Amino acid sequence: MYLNKPAVLKISGNLAENFKAFKQEFLIYFKATECKLKSPETQVAILLNLLGVEGLKIYNSLKIKEESVFDILDALEAYCEIQKNELKKLFTFFTRKQAQNEDFNTFYANLSELIKFCNFGKCEDKLLKAQIILGIADKDLQSQLLKEDLPLEKIVYSCQAIKQKTLQVDMQLNNNENKGSSSQGQCDKKDHLQPTQAVFRYVVNNFIKSKKNRLSPSCYVGNFSWKIMVKCTENDSVGLFLQCNADSDDKFWSVNANVVLRLISQKEGTLNIERKFQSLFNPKRISPGYNSIISWKDLFNGYIKDDTVIFEVFICAVCRCT
């Protein structure tokens, strides 16, 4: 009796759907030819023969411990589903654009979250940088950024600086209006406190290799300079702090802020580590934080990838008029 053999596994197109079709055809063939009566080694050989050249390459890359037909089919199916999900994540990342009224820090934080699961490896910073430029809503700024190949940190800083400049102009206009309506030229009480907020990230490369204290570029929120400070402590832990206005010569400034410090997970299914606090920042207290947010050992439970660690801070500050 002549039986049709299953077509080889097609790698092009929708791999998950292609595998479903191959699996169905193979199981029909497996039953019709009474392969279950043959030895397990023969059954596996028949499956690998029918997979085709490209399918066999996938099988070899998986290094499956168990060697039964159904173990191999399960492993191949899981692989094909992962490829399907990864394609969706790539699509989501490359089509992410900044909405017209969306804050840049929100856009940047979302892009940084999406890229974690795209498996770009050493190209991650380069592709994140490209997607920021492609996706930002400010086309004048986009044109400026395309003139020079800047590192990721400077591109992020440039985008944040443009927003801060706009905020400063708006605040200056509001202050001028207040001065015009007040005989003493002071802020009204209801405008005396100006709340602002931002989210920004610090991507640290060569983290284990260098094992040294780090300080991020500045992010300006409410006319203050904020930096993420990472310390490698003596007890083999990673310390995380938020520094405010460290370079200021003013001895009388102060700003009250609600802060969320985060160590970003780079493994799907692993949660970010968060620490929340409220602090009055002033010249005597410029860098509050935590001496140990994670141990060096626990970094490898999903928080370091290609020797890169990602830190993030959310700031909601109430800045006093001067």
Is the pLDDT reported for residue 242 higher than 90?
Answer: yes
Instruction: Give tens-digit pLDDT for 109-136.
Output: 889 888 877 778 888 889 999 999 999 9
Instruction: Give tens-digit pLDDT for 8-51.
Output: 998 876 778 889 999 999 999 999 998 889 999 999 999 999 99
| Amino acid occupying residue 265 | S
Sequence-distant (6+) residues with CB within 8 A of 109 are: 199, 200, 201, 312
Q: What is the pLDDT of residue 319?
A: 55
What mean pLDDT do residues 231-244 have? 87
Fold category of 96-320 in CATH? 2.60.210
pLDDT band at 190 (very low <50, low <70, confident <90, very high): very low
Task: Indicate the domain borders of the chain.
Answer: 15-91, 96-320
What's the CA gap between 120 and 127, in Å, rounded? 8
Under 8 Å between Cβ of 32 and 3 = yes
Q: What is the pLDDT of residue 208?
A: 83
Higher pLDDT, 174 or 116: 116
Higher pLDDT, 157 or 182: 157
Under 8 Å between Cβ of 257 and 278 = yes
Instruction: Give tens-digit pLDDT for 262-299.
Output: 999 988 888 899 999 999 999 999 899 999 999 988 99
